[in-house]
Amino acid sequence: MAVRILVAKPGLDGHDRGAKIVARTLRDAGFEVIYTGIRQRIEDIASIAVQEDVAVVGLSILSGAHLALTARTVEALRACDAADIAVVVGGTIPHADVPKLLAAGAAAVFPTGTPLDKLVREIRALTGTGEPDDKEAITEEQCASE
């Protein structure tokens, strides 16, 4: 059975080309992907994640609201008794914000420009279906060692 991943566009950000590319890449890599579409409410993302029994919620954020939206998503999943669902975030993210995102509960952060094959390897490692590639995605362990 394929690992299920929810790719979501929270908030008012209407640009979804990157999210669609990530969703297709993950699907081509063997994951089952559910894409929410644009302008989703955090509460709806958490509800869909629980209903679809996903292992990972991937947030695609280009609006600059990544800190608040990530923290709110983690909290919404906890409120749904789904803290075991990993939250990863990608998009226009300054490297200075990576430690804050990890502290807010993100399992991994993929800034703009992360190669897609590296994203796939990191998601596989996160879900126990492969090995991590620690050169591009920034995880909590890497952040602590810097």
What pLDDT, in 10s, does the model give residues 3-48? 999 999 999 988 999 999 999 999 999 999 999 999 999 999 999 9
> Using CA of residue 5, residue 75, residue 8, residue 124, what is the dihedral sign?
negative
pLDDT per position as a tens digit, 57-92:
999 999 999 999 999 999 999 999 999 999 999 999
Confidence band (pLDDT; 50, 70, 90) for 130?
Answer: confident
Q: With a threshold of 0.85, does the pTM exceed it? A: yes
Q: What is the β-pairing status of strands 4-8 and 86-91?
A: unpaired
CB 79, CB 87: distance < 8 Å: no
Q: What is the bridge-based pairing of β-strands 56-61 and 138-139?
A: unpaired
Could you identify the residue written with the tokens 């190669």?
A: 115
Residue 145 has pLDDT above 80, yes or no: no
Whole-angstrom Cα distance, residue 69 to residue 20? 19
Q: What is the dihedral of CA 15, 55, 88, 26, to 10 degrees?
A: -50
- Would you put residue 54 in left (φ > 0), alpha (ψ -120 to 50) or beta? beta
- CATH at 17: 3.40.50.280
Number of domains in the chain: 1
What is the pLDDT confidence band of residue 1, given thresholds at 50, 70 and 90? confident
Domain extent at residue 74:
4-145
**What are the start-end ranges of the E strands in the chain?**
4-8, 32-35, 56-61, 86-91, 108-111, 138-139
